[in-house]
Structure 1
Amino acid sequence: MTTVIRQDDIIASVADALQFISYYHPKDFIDGVHQAYQREESKAAKDAMAQILINSRMCAQGKRPICQDTGIVTAFVNVGMECKIEGDMSFDDIINEGVRRAYQHPDNVLRASILADPDGARKNTGDNTPAVIHYKIVPGDKVEVHVAAKGGGSEAKSKFAMLNPSDSVVDWVLKMVPQMGAGWCPPGMLGIGIGGTAEKAMLLAKEALLDPIDIQDLQARGASNRAEELRLELYDKVNALGIGAQGLGGLTTVLDIKIKDYPSHAANKAIAIIPNCAATRHAHFVLDGSGPALQTPPSLDDWPEVSWDVGDSVRRVNLNEVTKDDLLEWQPGETILLSGKLLTGRDAAHKRLVDMIAKGEPMPVDFTDRFIYYVGPVDPVREEVVGPAGPTTATRMDKFTRTVLESTGLIGMVGKAERGPSGIEAIRDNKAVYLMAVGGAAYLVSKAITNAKVLAFEDLGMEAIYEFDVKDMPVTVAVDTKGEAVHETGPKIWQAKIEERVVEVK
């Protein structure tokens, strides 16, 4: 007997799932981060995980996005051969209508991040469509859907290679993970796809990330196949790299390693890594013809009670009065609370500024002795002055950093993860500083923002230059005026500590 699935039920189910995952972490992820938090010995990494856990609970309570980057939507759809889809839209259009409704929901507006004509005009589609959709036709009388919202920072760190059949998967992964830096916002998961063809390996890696965190169960029962052996080996060896939460150095870099494989041509061994960040977002539902399949809200009891106390010794900085001389005292790894007026700007704004500098045009904003925050906030709702406003990946601004520092009077930057060599050199040469905010704690950060207004480039939308009034916004000194970078020193220190323990155990 054929099961009739109404297109409106698919649309409603997709929209509900995407709203749900914007503010609810999966319980397995919360449990994984909390376990890592409890055993972490690096203060910086432990503080970062505390902020992630606190932010997660706040989002569950306030029903607002975990991260300001609400992601590009990927859908995996299994259509039963005994199903009939009732409606007048294509299946792609049905999924995309669900995405559109989710991202434009008036009670929880999600950021539109999808740009058409990616190597040309890069014009925002306005509603986060289209999604990336994968289909399978399978036996059965139901439609099964997995949806995920994948942030650009973690997606950008994906890796792929065509290994020789005799090459070591473990060696390649351990070479790639340090190259990924911290822009994927660890701790999270690594999805690894092995085999098939180039595109199949990438698809396997993405699909692997849909599975729940269960590495502790696997450790307890032991491996039963090659993929599970690899999971166990890589879990230990990747964490032994000492990269840690947010790349600050620590015991936990990955919460789990997920691996899927597929038969391969005799001459090839395709391999892909796709990381999932601290804003892990995915949901699953099944449609059986009885109506929409809606998500069940978790209990707030699932979230641990975690406090984050910076202590009385923390440095408090008034951004309205800070000078270049003040920056000389700031120490790498030091926690700072920022208050005062903070400018914002990311890729598109920096590109426009550099173009204006090249043409000798006046700056639209006075940057003298100011700090700029690399962020593209979510639109506010209700009483909010700004929506979730976590940092974006700072390395994307490296190509602009020297020009901006030397031509505008800017003295400091705030962003996510590490800076590259050219960025660090520009910071050192200009005796500026780079401060790191925690990726995956966007709602928590937004609570430190008391006012927001657009100063320039309003046509760029979320990439416009804003001025935020902030109160006690927590950041870490990631690159000081001498060019010392905690994302270089921290992992080295913790890798050495972990190696010492392994030697002692042996």
Structure 2
Amino acid sequence: MTTIRQDDFIASIADALQYISYYHPPDFIRALAEAWRREEAAAARDAIAQILVNSRLCAEGHRPICQDTGIVVAFLKIGMEVRWDAELDLAGMINEGVRRAYTDPHNPLRASVVTDPDGARRNTGDNTPAVIHTELVSGDRVEVILAAKGGGSENKARFAVLNPGDDLVDWVLQQVPTMGAGWCPPGLLGIGIGGTPEKAMLLAKRSLMEPVDIQQLAARGPGNRAEALRLELYDKVNALGIGAQGLGGLTTVLDVKVLDYPTHAASKPVALIPNCAATRHIHFQLDGSGPAVLQPPSLADWPEIDWQPGAGSRRVDLDRLQREDVLDWRAGETLLLTGRLLTGRDAAHKRIVELLERGEPLPEGLDFRDRFIYYVGPVDPVDGEAVGPAGPTTATRMDKFTEPMLAKAGLLGMIGKAERGPEAIESIRRHRAVYLIATGGAAYLVSKAIRSARLLAFEDLGMEAVYEFEVVDMPVTVAVDASGESIHRTGPAEWRGRIGRIPVESRS
């Protein structure tokens, strides 16, 4: 009979969450490195290079891969012969591990979980509670899978109950383009088929915990319908040409995972959940001998990439920028930003726009006229950092605020990740403004360009407060130019056409 001690279990949860905050799974790194080597689209290849460089920096510096350090998801298989030497219940022990991991002073992780989700949405402050799935199995071990899933990818989940005769591949190929780039491709797609609605969603999430092995599967060939679906969807999703960060390119997904379960004769529930470029999960087992021992991966798993901003990048001095200067920037162009910019995301935008609509003044010192705003909620700094990992958040969520921010606040430009919707693009065009993107999944790399951070407004919002950053050579790409041209429209369209003329074996 195995006895699992409370302290060992809590320490294992905390250590594992710290571990996955800065170590990508090696199988993911190898697959991403291979995608980088074969990528032909310049913008997408540069984005993948930034993600890989960021990943290595995080592995070396033990700092988060992404500023969105995720909501914790735990899958547990508990042997029925296991006894517990514990005062807390299972959820209490897991949440204590989460609390310790996310408040670790050496590597604090961003608290993103809010309570009262349809009301006050108060941040719990320590990223608790976790989402827990438990299964009792035979044996005397506890098997644990932990994942930290970011909001950008979780928000793109899809579900439907298809008719038994409907084509699942057609459904997936209809859904993926509607997901945009907010889930930070290249990543993985998890597909759950069958059971009941909640079972299909759970299957899709659980499938993402498996190793990246699509190339091995292609080499040996499928052994069942689920494996055949994986191969078919891998080729057909990549043929959409969406590419890294939605910029257009050969690789949108590194793997497609499929799990299925028997279902009702009248039903075919299907779920799709993406995993982003900040893929974070770990598997370990407890046998009563102590806490889990987690071996660091070898730095040899990361490719040596001497990434530098493109030689043709335009240098921009934000402190001297005039409104007419942005008019000749073109979608797809790379910029290096130096100077001062403001930050703000969902909660701050809501407050700012409410003040503008009531005709009330903004907080003292907060002036958006002819300025740029960066959609970011950074990690807290440590050891002399100006700011912790500070990658962009999904800009689409700010679309409804774009018109008042441009028309009433006088904003000149925005920086985020992923595409903008039609109304936001029209507002950008009408006001002759611009929208730029930083690379999602390269948060620590981006933070290296931030030299100082000064709180300006809404301190109570925590990571969503408004700051003024001073940046030096912050790399960004023009995603929507002043004429309304969007790289997220032109890039994938171009590569969809190109991929159609490239043999499958040449692009996989």
TM-score, scaled relative to structure 1: 0.99
* Aligned twin of 1:210: 209
CA contact (8 A) 2:235 2:504 kept: no
* Aligned twin of 1:222: 221
**What whole-Å deviation, never above 9, does each CA across 1:427-459 have from its counterpart, x for those lacking one?**
111110000000000000000000001101111
CA contact (8 A) 1:16 1:102 kept: yes
Deviation at 1:422, TM superposition (A): 1.3
**What whole-Å deviation, never above 9, does each CA across 1:364-416 have from its counterpart, x for those lacking one?**
21111100000000000111110000000000000000011000111000001
* Aligned twin of 1:285: 284
Deviation at 1:311, TM superposition (A): 3.7
Structure 1 residue runs of 5 or longer lacking an equivalent are none
* Aligned twin of 1:276: 275
Give me the whole-angstrom Cα distance separating, in 2, the residues matched to 1:250 and 1:206: 26
* Aligned twin of 2:382: 381
Secondary structure class of the residue paired with 2:328: coil
Give me the whole-angstrom Cα distance separating, in 1, the residues matched to 2:337 and 2:492: 26
* Aligned twin of 1:129: 128
Give me the whole-angstrom Cα distance separating, in 1, the residues matched to 2:464 and 2:443: 16
* Aligned twin of 1:444: 445
* Aligned twin of 1:484: 485
* Aligned twin of 2:345: 346
CA contact (8 A) 1:215 1:232 kept: yes
* Aligned twin of 1:91: 90
1:310 paired with 2:309, answer: yes
Deviation at 1:7, TM superposition (A): 1.2
* Aligned twin of 2:463: 462
Give me the whole-angstrom Cα distance separating, in 1, the residues matched to 2:12 and 2:287: 12
Give me the whole-angstrom Cα distance separating, in 1, the residues matched to 2:146 and 2:313: 41
* Aligned twin of 2:148: 149
What is the 5 A alignment of 1:488-499? 488-499=489-500
Secondary structure class of the residue paired with 1:265: coil
1:500 paired with 2:504, answer: no
Deviation at 1:502, TM superposition (A): 4.5
1:333 paired with 2:332, answer: yes
Give me the whole-angstrom Cα distance separating, in 2, the residues matched to 1:164 and 1:150: 30
Secondary structure class of the residue paired with 2:77: strand
Counterpart residue identity of residue 384, structure 1? E
What is the 5 A alignment of 1:39-188? 39-188=38-187
Give me the whole-angstrom Cα distance separating, in 2, the residues matched to 1:136 and 1:474: 46
Counterpart residue identity of residue 287, structure 2? D
Counterpart residue identity of residue 172, structure 2? V
Counterpart residue identity of residue 263, structure 1? P
CA contact (8 A) 2:310 2:334 kept: no
Give me the whole-angstrom Cα distance separating, in 1, the residues matched to 2:502 and 2:28: 27
Give me the whole-angstrom Cα distance separating, in 2, the residues matched to 1:202 and 1:503: 30
Give me the whole-angstrom Cα distance separating, in 2, the residues matched to 1:119 and 1:202: 22
Secondary structure class of the residue paired with 1:453: strand
**What whole-Å deviation, never above 9, does each CA across 1:8-64 have from its counterpart, x for those lacking one?**
111000000000000000000100110000000000000000000000000001000
CA contact (8 A) 2:98 2:127 kept: yes
**Which stretches of structure 1, 4 residues or more, deviate above 3 A after TM superposition?**
502-505
* Aligned twin of 2:251: 252
Counterpart residue identity of residue 45, structure 2? K
Give me the whole-angstrom Cα distance separating, in 2, the residues matched to 1:493 and 1:21: 36
Give me the whole-angstrom Cα distance separating, in 2, the residues matched to 1:322 and 1:496: 37
Secondary structure class of the residue paired with 2:76: strand
Give me the whole-angstrom Cα distance separating, in 2, the residues matched to 1:42 and 1:311: 14
Aligned residues: 504
Deviation at 1:308, TM superposition (A): 1.9
Secondary structure class of the residue paired with 1:328: helix
Please report the RMSD computed on the Cα atoms of aligned residues, expressed in angstroms: 1.0
Deviation at 1:284, TM superposition (A): 0.8
Counterpart residue identity of residue 125, structure 1? T
Deviation at 1:469, TM superposition (A): 0.4
**What whole-Å deviation, never above 9, does each CA across 1:222-251 have from its counterpart, x for those lacking one?**
000000000000000000000000000000
Deviation at 1:312, TM superposition (A): 3.3
**What whole-Å deviation, never above 9, does each CA across 1:51-95 have from its counterpart, x for those lacking one?**
000000000010000000000000001000000111111100000
Deviation at 1:501, TM superposition (A): 2.5
Secondary structure class of the residue paired with 1:501: coil
**What whole-Å deviation, never above 9, does each CA across 1:261-316 have from its counterpart, x for those lacking one?**
00000000000000000000000110000000131111111111012233432100
Counterpart residue identity of residue 68, structure 1? Q
Secondary structure class of the residue paired with 2:284: strand
TM-score, scaled relative to structure 2: 0.98
CA contact (8 A) 1:17 1:294 kept: no
* Aligned twin of 2:188: 189
1:474 paired with 2:462, answer: no
Give me the whole-angstrom Cα distance separating, in 1, the residues matched to 2:400 and 2:279: 29
Structure 2 residue runs of 5 or longer lacking an equivalent are none
Q: State, as a whole percentage, how many aligned pairs show the same letter.
A: 68
* Aligned twin of 2:319: 320
Counterpart residue identity of residue 358, structure 2? K
Give me the whole-angstrom Cα distance separating, in 2, the residues matched to 1:294 and 1:369: 53
Deviation at 1:504, TM superposition (A): 12
